[in-house]
Structure 1
Amino acid sequence: MPGRNIRVSGSPSIWTPPTSPPRPDRSVTPTTVNALMESTIGLYKTEQIKPRQPWKSLSQVGLATAEWVDWYNHRRLRGEIGHVPPVEHEANHYMESTKPQVTTII
């Protein structure tokens, strides 16, 4: 509605991942997934939503959300992975894991 300020608030909903066999290298439970989601949602609200209030429309919130998600997934630098964006780190991982393995028979 034109002329009406939109305030975005509320707590994240709880998401339960589909059941699948546990992976041997790491354990993913609904609790750990929810903790990760709540942390990400909190970061999103702190960095994107709260500083730019009041919002004039839901479409502004939607566009800002899409921009933040794009930044978060493609351009954000992560210290844990060598200060490179997640997409670059993932590409490097797959490039390394798909290199042909050279073996010698003695």
Structure 2
Amino acid sequence: MSDLFNSSTSYDDDSSKSKGVDSELQEFLMIEKQKAQFNAQIHEFNDFCWDKCVEKPGNKLDSRTETCLNNCVDRFIDVSLFITNRFTQLLQKSAGGM
């Protein structure tokens, strides 16, 4: 019987575990939100390039459209690398500050 009343320390352990899970969940949700924002930006960029480069869809791309799309892809890769590197820097800063 005395074990039932002295088990409050296990509740404290469960509470601290719960807080750890909550912070992990918040971090996971933040990362997923960032991924969703990044994907939304990708789609917006793709729409922009399509509208800018493709005047009328056809069976083949003319050289102007092909060049435009190539440039868009190149800029997309540049921006993607920049954003990825920036996120890496931010994660390293936040990990170093802990």
- Bigger Rg over Cα: 2
TM-score norm. by structure 1 comes to 0.36
Greater RCO between the two (CA within 8 Å, min separation 6)? Answer: 1
TM-score norm. by structure 2 comes to 0.38
Whose helix fraction is larger, Structure 1's or Structure 2's? 2
